[in-house]
Structure 1
Amino acid sequence: MVKQVWLNLPVKNIEKSKAFFTEIGFSFNEKHDSASHTCMLVGENNFVIMLFEETQFASCIQNKITDTTVSSEMLISIDAQSREEVDEFANIVQEAGGNVFAKPAENEGWMYGCGFADLDGHRWNVLYMDLSKLPK
C-alpha cells in the first residue's frame, strides 16, 4: 500500500537550485544529500521533492528530460494563506532569480495567484483560494 508520495525534478546545478529554493523559503533534509541529489521539504507536512542532477535523473527515467524552455510536463501548485502572501512570494521569487511568468492576479473571482519558473524552468503556481467566494 502507498504510504508516501514525493516528486523528483531534474536540475542543472544542485547547489544553485538549493540556494534558490532556500531563498524562497523551502528547507532541506541534508542527511539525504549527495553530489547528484538533494531532498527538499515543502509545506507544513514536509512534502518531499528530490532534486536530481540531470544525468542521474535521465538514467532513472530512461527517457528524455522535458525541455522547459519550450514545454512543461506539469505545474506544481503550492498554497498561500492570503493575497498578500502571494504578492510577497512573487517578489521573493523574483529577487532570488526566478521568473514570475504570471504576475499576481485574481482568477474566477475566488482565487488569487501567480506563476513562476525556477532556475531550471519548472513551473510553479502559488494560489490563495477564498472559499467564501466560491460559486455555488
Structure 2
Amino acid sequence: MTSTYQQMIFVNLPVNDLDASKKFFTELGYTINPQFSDEKAASVVISDSIVAMLLTKPFYATFTKKEIADATKSSEVLLALSAESREKVDELVEKALAAGGSPAGETQDHGFMYGRSFDDPDGHTWEVIWMDPAAVEG
C-alpha cells in the first residue's frame, strides 16, 4: 500500500521585527496562517508543503541552546525555492527587492538553469531557481 502522505517542511527563522517580516512576506504574495500565528510567531504559507515560521528572537531562543546567528553577518542557511519559469524567478525577486529585501549574489544563467537571490530584511538568503524540465529529464 502506498502512502498519500505529503511530507512538509517548516523552516523556522529568527526575526528582529515580526510585523515588518510579516509585511515583507505578504508583499511577496504569501499568506499568514492565523491558526499558527501570534505575537511571537507568524506562519507564512509558501506552498501546500512549505511553511516559514517567523519567530521573534526571544521565542526562537526557547528552542535552542545555541547562539542565534546574525544572518546579516554570517551565513546560517541558504533557502532555495523553485519557480515555474525564468519570468517567475524575476517576478518574485523583484517583489522581494521592492518590499525591502536586498540583492544577494549574481544572477546565475546557465541556459537550462536560471536563478537569482535576495536577502530578506533579517538577512536570510533566499534563492529562486528555474530549471528546464527537459534538462532535468535527461
TM range, smaller chain: 0.7 to 0.9
Percent identity among equivalent residues?
Answer: 35
CA distance in 1, matches of 2:52, 2:95: 20
Q: Report whether the alignment pairs 1:124 with 2:126.
A: yes
- Give CA-to-partner distance per residue, 1:33-90, whole Å, 9 cap, x none: 21111111112x2412211000110121121111212211211111111111111112
Q: Call closer, same or farther: CA 1:64–1:105 in 2, change over 3 Å.
A: same
Match of 1:9, SS state, is strand
Match of 1:102, SS state, is coil
Count of paired positions: 132
Task: Map 1:15-26; keep pairs closer than 5 Å.
Answer: 15-26=19-30
Contact 2:8-2:49 within 8 A present in 1 as well? no
User: Among 96, 100, 103, which residue is 1:100 paired with?
Assistant: 103
CA distance in 2, matches of 1:31, 1:97: 26
User: Which portions of structure 1, spanning 4 or more consecutive aligned residues, are displaced by more than 2 angstroms?
Assistant: 102-105, 133-136
CA RMSD between the two structures: 1.8
User: Among 53, 62, 76, which residue is 1:73 paired with?
Assistant: 76
> Gapped runs of 5+ residues in structure 2?
1-6
Q: TM-score, normalised by structure 2?
A: 0.86
> Gapped runs of 5+ residues in structure 1?
none
Alignment partner, residue 115 of structure 1: 117
Q: TM-score, normalised by structure 1?
A: 0.88
Letter in 2 for 1:83: R
CA distance in 1, matches of 2:124, 2:23: 16
